[in-house]
Structure 1
């Protein structure tokens, strides 16, 4: 890894607490997690257990940290909710991902939420452009459970008929916002829910009903 000399990087790594490690083998471990991510995207609603586990900086779960290490780099500005605004975590992200952070949700390629009850409206994030719908924000939401929440019916590509999914901890307006997000297709955001070392993918093409 090439060490940058800019002030933000020096500030990020100069914390009192030692940084938590990243992947033992950054190339192969990130590839393994990315393969799991593709499975979660191809089969929305399916709980996918990652075969790599991390001791993540609080309050990240292992799956949240693994997604950051696999997806993010110096070209992907990220937005963090207020629960993630701590020196240890931001130093870890900058050191392992060279990750630029933004205070404006609409400017983020990735947004990471650890307090889903206070999740901003989905429309606050970048919805992509007509010419480049893939440039929308990808949202990673860390939740208490992927199975113990209200059962919702998911339908769409990658699902054989329908599937019941019980994401816990989401605010009441989330699924109303999701309906509006689907109407923007091919624009719109994609979501990954994480809990522990597991994740579920929710692409913008999926219809969700109570």
Structure 2
């Protein structure tokens, strides 16, 4: 009789759960307060692929047992990712994006339609979704945005993302105070990561 197969070991969480979570949370909050600005996010996590260490750090800092999370097709195809998130955060993984408070998107180029996610309610705009999106690059760039936390306007670049992102941001801003929030994550040189916030309060600055 063959011995049962052993489950793969679960990837470790934060080495210092309290302080590491605080540092990651502070980086995310600064990114949301200063939209379009890449904020350093150092992490020594080694999460299961294809979840990046930066997205994992955001997830471990933001998720808990009361925040259902949706995984895109790339992440949901790797069962170890869901197991990692459930164990370290207690967050239930849901199949319906509209039921999620957070969503993890591994493929920024295939960013789902924002309308698939909870937009909040008039009396409870906080009952909306936040999308944590993995990209390969975050920097200053040609896509300009304006809004709270930005003096005048700020240009940024993030790739890969859909070509219609400016139109999506404009439609999202039109729903304010409803709408979704975006947290973009990327790994920089020497393994130093970054996070960028695109809250629902920002709007693209269109050229005349």
Same fold (TM over 0.5): yes
Cross-structure match for 1:75 = 66
**1:56 positional shift:** 2.0
| 2:163 matches 1:172 | yes
Give the TM-score of the pair, scaled to structure 2: 0.89
Whether the aligned pair in 2 keeps the contact of 1:182 and 1:188 (CA below 8 Å) is: yes
Q: How far 1:209 sits from its partner (Å)?
A: 3.2
Comparing 111-120 and 123-132, the one that deviates more: 111-120
Query: Which structure shows the higher strand fraction?
Result: 2
Which is further off, 63-72 or 34-43?
34-43
Matches within 5 A, 1:5-84: 16-84=7-75
Runs of 4+ in 1 over 3 A off after TM superposition: none
C-alpha separation between the residues in 1 aligned to 2:154 and 2:99? 33
Distance in 1 (alpha carbons) for counterparts of 2:30 and 2:6 = 37
Which residue of 2 is the match for residue 198 of structure 1? Answer: 194
State whether residues 127 and 189 of structure 1, in contact with CA within 8 Å, keep that contact through their aligned partners in structure 2: yes
Instruction: Calculate the TM-score normalised by the size of structure 1.
Output: 0.88
Query: Would you say how many aligned residue pairs link Structure 1 and Structure 2?
Result: 196
CA RMSD of aligned residues (A): 1.6
How far, CA to CA, are the matches of 2:67 and 2:6 in structure 1? 23
Residue 74 of structure 1 and its aligned partner are, at CA, apart by 1.0
Query: Using the alignment, how far apart are the partners of 1:15 and 1:73 within structure 2?
Result: 28
Partner residue, 2:176:
185
Decide whether the 8 Å contact of 2:153 with 2:205 is kept in 1.
no
In structure 1, runs of 5+ residues without a counterpart are 1-13
Structure 2: runs of 5 or more not aligned:
188-192
Match of 2:126 among 134, 138, 147: 134
CA 15–76 in structure 1, closer or farther in 2 if over 3 Å, else same = farther
Q: Secondary structure at the match of 1:59?
A: coil
